[in-house]
Amino acid sequence: MAQTSKRLIIVGKTGNGKSSLGNNLFGMKLFSEGGGFNAITMACQSEKYRHFEIVHTPGLFYTNQNRNVARQAEQIVHALKLCPAPHAFLIVIKYNRFTAEEVSALDVLQITFGEQYLDHAIVVVTHVENDVTDADFSNACRESYQVNELLKRCGKRVVRIDNKNPKEENINTLLQYIDQVSKNGNSCFKYDYLSCHEKVLRRHADLDRYDGMLAHEQLEPILKDIKTMVVREQEREKREREEKERQQKEKEKQNIINYAKTIFTLGAGVGFGALGFKLYSKYSKYLPSFT
């Protein structure tokens, strides 16, 4: 891997092994790890070491908090404040625990970061023991609709890893994907309408009716509101651009008219010439009458 520093955001369901993935990339234990499905990380945590800056996000769908998706997404948005312009998003899923919530997790990340984040997304399948053959791993992924949908939306970038005893070749594959999506560190995630997402998430986070609802039931109205706000912002930007272009054209036209007036005032003698005649012919209707 190139020596350029890489900024990474690790996301995924609670209990999928996000902490251990970050520690394996660092080569040392900087993130707290825990067993089971109890979330340890309840807020974004950022660590830097060697050629990495990694943000560990709270687990999606954590069990000891309410399941309001907008509230969870609001917490994950904070990752971009800790790690602006990340090079890659590592989406962590657990081997042989593929559920519909894995696909819902992608949608939660979409309402958080916008769909463009998928261009920088890499799926990392954790808890794959090293004695599992590549063929068996591929078959397990292929047989799961959830994983196929996940991989399709992430450009089929997938890496397997044994959290307790990671193989160097698997770590190297992940590093190669990071270089690929970041164009060797020259391409970062950027999205101009994140503020629209934050405003909508803030509004929906206050709606108690979401508590206890499944993720996919909450996502549709949130995505609809985000799309509406983004379209309005794009239309506003378009109107501003058109107005600036109109003013610029008006300014240029006025400059030409003023120049034509100056040349015309000099008369048809020494200063007029072909250019003056051409300008006069085009803009004479704007000039004052001299008769």
Q: What percent of the chain has pLDDT over 70?
A: 81
What is the 3-state secondary structure of the chain?
CCCCCEEEEEEEECCCCHHHHHHHHHCCCCCCCCCCCCCCCCCCEEEEECCEEEEECCCECCCCCCCCHHHHHHHHHHHHHHCCCCCEEEEEEECCCCCHHHHHHHHHHHHHHCHHHHHHEEEEEECCCCCCCHHHHHHHHHCCHHHHHHHHHCCCCEEECCCCCCCHHHHHHHHHHHHHHCCCCCCCCCCCCHHHHHHHHHHHHCCHHHCCCCHHHHHHHHHHHHHHHHHHHHHHHHHHHHHHHHHHHHHHHHHHHHHHHHHHHCCCCCCCHHHHHHHHHHHHHHCCCCC
32 pLDDT above the threshold of 60: yes
When pLDDT is averaged across residues 102-127 and rounded to a whole number, the result is 87
Q: CATH says 6-213 is which class? A: alpha beta
Domain coordinates of the chain in residue numbers? 6-213, 230-286
270 pLDDT above the threshold of 50: no
Q: What is the pLDDT of residues 116-148, one digit of tens each?
A: 899 999 999 999 999 999 999 998 888 888 788
Task: Grade residue 43 by pLDDT with cuts at 50, 70 and 90.
Answer: confident
203: its two tokens: 């509004």
What pLDDT is attached to residue 265? Answer: 67
What pLDDT is attached to residue 48? Answer: 84
214 pLDDT above the threshold of 70: yes
Instruction: Indicate the range of 1-5, 97-101, 156-160 predicted with least confidence.
Output: 1-5
Q: Which of 40, 50, 37 is nearest to 19 (CA)?
A: 40
For the chain, the average pLDDT equals: 82
